[in-house]
Amino acid sequence: MKPVQRILLCGFMGCGKTSVGQALAFRLKWDFLDTDAMIEKREGIPIPQIFQTKGEEYFRQAETAAAAAVARRKNVVVSTGGGFVMRDENLSALLAYHPDATGIVYLDCDFDTCYQRICTSSRPLVVSNTKEQLREIFQSRADRYRSVSTIQVHNDSLVSDAVEEIIRQLPI
């Protein structure tokens, strides 16, 4: 594999994409971007409000626009929302320019740990689904996260361990 000049983090809500992404970017002295934060900034309202007033489909299209906005960037760690890699068009938009220089990391974490971290949050999918429904979404997405990823790293203990494991596995 060619040297990686950009890293995308994917995985379920609560797997730690943002905290690991920030720590990884700091460690590599790269920029950090979060597609959810980009969307909130562009829309001027938080994600729950985007879902409420404009609907999920609008949010999903905003994710594609965020993907296109980072397509040319290098030396950047991109943390994505849990549904981001589910859509082919998001990956195609993001990989339009440097596909071989992009490492995709599946930040894997067991459902109960994710659930503990997200259960009191205002994330739209969390407030509109029961724990068992969320478990089903988790299970239905796992294969996709795995299949789009270059590497898979567990994040069930320290953020710094996940960061070092990513650096160990990817040719940076």
* Binding footprint of ligand S3P on the chain (CB under 6 A): 13, 17, 36, 47, 81-83, 123-125
Residue 28 Cβ, how far from ligand S3P at the closest point, in Å? 21
Taking the complex as a whole, the smallest distance from the CB of residue 170 to ligand S3P amounts, in Å, to 21
**φ/ψ of residue 85, rounded to 5:** -75, -5
Shorter beta-carbon distance to ligand S3P: residue 78 or 163: 78
CB nearer ligand S3P, residue 15 or residue 28: 15
Phi, psi angle pair for 170, to nearest 5°: -95, 145
Shortest reach from residue 1's CB to ligand S3P, in Å: 26
Residue of closest CB approach to ligand S3P: 81
Residue 74 CA to chain centroid, in angstroms? 17
User: What is the smallest separation between the CB atom of 155 and ligand S3P, expressed in angstroms?
Assistant: 13
Please tell me whether residue 162 adopts helix, strand or coil conformation: helix
Q: For the chain, where are the E strands, in sequence order? A: 6-10, 31-34, 76-79, 102-108, 151-154
